[in-house]
Amino acid sequence: MHDETATARTFRMRILGAGAVDRHVPGQHYDVRLTAPDGSTAQRSYSIASEPTDGREVELTVERIEDGEVSPYLHDEIAVGDQVELRGPFGGWFIWAADTPALLLGGGSGVVPLMAMRRYWHSTGGATPLRVLVSVRRPEDLYYQGEWGTETTVIHTRQAPSGDPRTPGRLTAADLEPLLAALPEPVAYICGSAGFTEHASQLVVSLGLPAPNVRIERFGPG
């Protein structure tokens, strides 16, 4: 396990069990299920950050939600070698196998499934037209620092790094226009909070992308 930011940690899981081979499609998630001594359960969905492999390992990046039931347990209690119950992979809508031109828009922790897509695209040759935009509050909130490539634009809503010509602020049409112009008939994948996904999806539609070409995954609290 390793920290992505002050509040997000990536867990590499080895999948145990007969015949258990992870063959997810980028964008899918696993459910992590915890069972208390009294038998009650809690479960949350966490997006897969790693690309699909032939191996039996998968990486989940989990943001710590302060009053959450599951994420504080994973952050504070889990040690290397512990076992947790996983179910998955699940999801058949917010998935991309690098087979169509794509615009990936992520806000905050919403970049996790987009990184699985980006990793898969990159390792399979990167031939499909792709643009990625990541929106973070401050530079230190960016997940997977150093791994994003020239296909990716990072925008800052509260504080930009010194020298960034863009004034900090929420996503605008001007941020998106050059990305859409570079992509023939793309599908947009938008992931993040309800506020980010609503704003970003309305923007791309206002810039001419047909609504059926927009796929949204909204990360709720928990």
Decide whether 157 or 198 has the Cβ nearer to other proteins: 198
Position of tokens 């459910």? 31
Contact 5, 141 (CB under 8 A): yes
Half-sphere exposure of 9 (CA within 13 A, CB side): 16
Our finding on whether 43 is near other proteins (CB under 8 A) is yes
Decide whether 33 or 64 has the Cβ nearer to other proteins: 33
Decide whether 51 or 217 has the Cβ nearer to other proteins: 217
Render 129-192 in DSSP notation, one character per residue: -EEEEEEESSGGG-SSTTT--TTEEEEESS-PPTT--SPS-S--HHHHHHHHHTSSSPEEEEEE
Enumerate residues 10-39 that contact other proteins by CB under 8 A.
31, 33-38
CA-to-CA distance for 165 and 135, rounded, in angstroms? 15
Our finding on whether 71 is near other proteins (CB under 8 A) is no
Residue 212: exposure state from Cβ atoms within 10 A (0-12, 13-18, ≥19): exposed
Amino acid at 145: Q
Helix 194-206 / helix 173-181 crossing angle, nearest 10 deg: 60
Our finding on whether 208 is near other proteins (CB under 8 A) is no
Residue among 3, 57, 90, 181 that touches other proteins (CB under 8 A)? 90
Contact 134, 154 (CB under 8 A): yes
Our finding on whether 194 is near other proteins (CB under 8 A) is yes
Write each residue from 147 to 186 as x if it is in contact with other proteins (CB under 8 A), else as -, in one continuous string.
----------------------------------------
Our finding on whether 65 is near other proteins (CB under 8 A) is no
- Least separation in angstroms between residue 60's CB and other proteins is 14
Our finding on whether 201 is near other proteins (CB under 8 A) is yes
Residue among 64, 122, 137, 215 that touches other proteins (CB under 8 A)? 215
Residue 158, phi then psi, degrees to nearest 5: -115, -45
Binding interface with other proteins (CB under 8 A): 31, 33-38, 40-45, 69-70, 73, 76-77, 82-85, 87, 90-94, 194, 197-198, 201-202, 205, 211-212, 214-218, 220-222
